[in-house]
Amino acid sequence: MTMDSFLQFFIYIPFAGFAISLLISERNEDLISTFSFSAVGLHLNGLVAFITYWLWNGAPTLNHQYISLYQINDYDFFIDLYFDKITAVYLLVGALLTFLVTIYSRYYLHRETGYKRFFNTVLFFYLGYTIAVMSGNLETLFIGWEILGISSFLLISFYKHRYLPVKNAVKVFSIYRVADVGLILAMWMSHHLWHENITFEKLSNLELVHNQLQSHTVVGVFIAMMFLLSAAAKSAQLPFSSWLPRAMEGPTPSSAIFYGSLAVHLGVFLMLRTFPFWEQQISVRIFIVVLGLATAIIATGIGRVQSSVKSQIAYASIAQIGLIFIEVAAGFENLALFHFAGNAFLRTYQLLVSPSVVSYLIREQFYNFSPRERSIEVTFSKKLEYTLYTLCVKEWNLDSMMYRYLWNPLKWVGSRLNFLTLYGAVWFFVATYSVGLICFFYKDALPESVLDKLPVLFSLMGLVMILKSFTERRWARKSWLLIIMNHLWIALAISFNEAFKYGQPVLYLSGIIVAGIIGFFCLVRLRKLEGSIGLHQFHGYSYQHPKIALVFFFCCLAATGFPITPTFIGEDLIFTHIHEDQILLASITSLSFILDGLAIIRIYARVFMGPHVKSIFEMAYRSS
């Protein structure tokens, strides 16, 4: 076997570990934890042996096209694995930290409700991390990217019957959805730039990239900015920095491995991996430096006024990642990798000892504490000092700005669609969609000027549906049906573009329709059992109906395009048929995908998570 053919085994090991861990009884804590760190330990030992052999042979760049999942004409969706020094560093750091955290969690979570669920989720996260780091093209990277997103939601909402963990999990997922769509848009324009699913190996060919971008400068800047949008959202850079402290609601070990060390550095990995593409785009590099510097300065100030040790560590990590962004933009790849490893190890250690930090500080205060004599603030005027202090205490209003300029306008538009009742929405959809189908089957008889406007018109119809679903507060069934209608409108809108065969919208809608039907019946069944499943509050029905909650959760994954149905490939296929000059259509479709994921996860969280609606006990709705 050649060296590159060994790469697939580093995917098999965490996948097998996760799959087998699902079969272990939740009552056997020793077996669950022993198997988990044994699986990660096996992966770590195999990785050390492989990297040693790889270095002995001169550290060649390895690329292995593993399997083609879907191929038609000039479109080929294939899994590609890639190994170089960036992969080696990220894999080694990830394997070592995951191994240490699984051992730590064995004792830290002893007798905790959800013990098995925690280890299952950590192994699932490790699988996604491995796929993302070893990805050889954007499509493979997106598979790992999606797994990390959903495992993030599960880890933050680990205490799923409490209010704040669930609310913050939805908030973080909303930012992750922005990162997902940024990556989808980068993939969309890359298809038109390269006319293929470009691999990172080809992207490293500087001459090829330079020749292509000479005649496509604007396209190159757009792709680079979409990469940066995804990376900034994933790594909590401005203006998305406020989500990271909110993500600390999960158990301390998950905070350490996820938000202190590994997942939060995936944005850096994306910029390192795509650096050959935007290396010659000076304006992009300057923008990244400014963004990283601004993030580092603001996050440092916010971190210094936090009363929670986890929040302090979170903002300290954000500041360091901002500096790593600067190093990547400056071309210091080795320094960025070294900085990543150091920051990951330091934040993991700090978070793991954070439960004991109070006792450490008390001992230090009585025996060897000495206050700092001078700080940089004493050089400022009092007005500037107090202004900066107030801004930092308020976290520069980053959270409120996201709501004011992004989510609240969308909610305002959705609230104006209250005329769409449950039955009214169904009849409206049947009537208008029938007209759309008639236009599609007789499109040869329509004038060209009308045909050019129909894709945008139908995608706007889908956007109306998903806006109403996103802001619906009364009926969960209505919100769920509107989500399915949105997907049907998107499929119809793109069908008017040439070369979009009948089998391709079927591929896209296959997972959506099946998940939509099963999910709707889950909600109908739950309504018969409980009577009320409105979206105005959390209900916590997973406590009483865990089986319905599990089935509906899988329906939610399928409806969001998670890689368990052909819809995942269909989403990428949808965007490849949007022309590069159809910016408005691409924008509407991407916004629909953002709101689609948020509406779906909102339904699941409101119906099945949070404090139980029938509880007779008082519950805290805010953290201390």
CA distances to 96, 262, 321, 379, 449 from 438, in Å:
58, 51, 53, 72, 17
Mean residue pLDDT across the chain = 86
Q: pLDDT digits over 468-511, tens only? A: 888 888 888 989 999 999 999 998 888 887 655 667 788 888 88
Query: How many CA atoms lie within 13 Å of 351's alpha carbon, on the beta-carbon side?
Result: 34
pLDDT in tens, 309-341: 888 888 999 999 999 999 999 989 999 999 999
User: Would you state the pLDDT for residue 516?
Assistant: 92
Say what the pTM is: 0.92
Tokens representing 120?
Answer: 């299952």
pLDDT band at 367 (very low <50, low <70, confident <90, very high): low
Cβ pair 115, 26 in contact under 8 A: yes
Residues 6+ apart with CB under 8 A from 74: 195, 196
Q: Are 458 and 513 in contact (CB under 8 A)?
A: no
Q: At 2, which amino acid appears?
A: T
Q: For position 90, what pLDDT does the model report?
A: 95
- What is the rounded average pLDDT of the residues 429-433? 87
- Nearest of 485, 478, 479, 469 to residue 434 by alpha carbon: 485
| Spatial contact of 579 and 446, defined as CB atoms under 8 Å apart | no
617 pLDDT band, cuts 50/70/90, is low
d(CA 168, CA 237): 18
Going from N- to C-terminal start, the domains of the chain cover 3-361, 397-608
Write the single-letter amino acid at 501.
Answer: K
- Per-residue pLDDT tens for 161-218? 888 888 888 888 888 888 988 898 998 888 888 888 888 888 888 888 888 878 778 8
SS3 of 79, please? strand
CA distance 142 to 131: 9
pLDDT tens for each residue of 519-573: 999 999 999 988 878 888 888 888 889 899 999 999 999 998 888 888 888 888 8
Distances (CA, A) of 522 to 62, 414, 421, 566: 46, 25, 20, 22
Comparison of pLDDT for 382 and 131, the residue scoring more? 131
Number of C-alpha atoms within 13 angstroms, CB side, residue 380? 11
Distance between CA atoms of residues 556 and 547, nearest Å: 14
Please give the share of the chain, as a percent, with pLDDT higher than 70: 94
**Which value, to the nearest 10 degrees, does the dihedral of the CA atoms of residues 267, 144, 141, 134 take?**
90
| CA 274, chain centre distance (Å) | 18
More confident residue, 291 or 386: 291
Asked if residue 388 lies in contact with residue 304, where contact means CB atoms within 8 angstroms, the answer is no
Q: Sort 610 into a burial class: Cβ within 10 Å, 0-12 / 13-18 / 19+.
A: buried
Sign of CA dihedral 125, 152, 182, 433: positive
Coil, strand or helix at 623:
coil
Q: How confident is the model at residue 624 (pLDDT cuts 50, 70, 90)?
A: very low
362, pLDDT greater than 70:
no
Which residue from 463, 555, 477, 488 is spatially nearest to 516, judged by alpha carbons? Answer: 555
pLDDT at position 256: 84
Q: What is the pLDDT of residue 623?
A: 45
Tell me the per-residue pLDDT of 220-265, one tens digit each, with 9 for 90 and over: 899 999 999 999 999 989 888 888 888 888 888 888 887 778 889 9
DSSP 20-42: HHTTS-TT-HHHHHHHHHHHHHH
Nearest CA to 275 out of 27, 534, 86 is that of 86
Pick from 43-57, 108-122, 354-368: least confident: 354-368
Omega before residue 371 within 30° of 0, cis: no
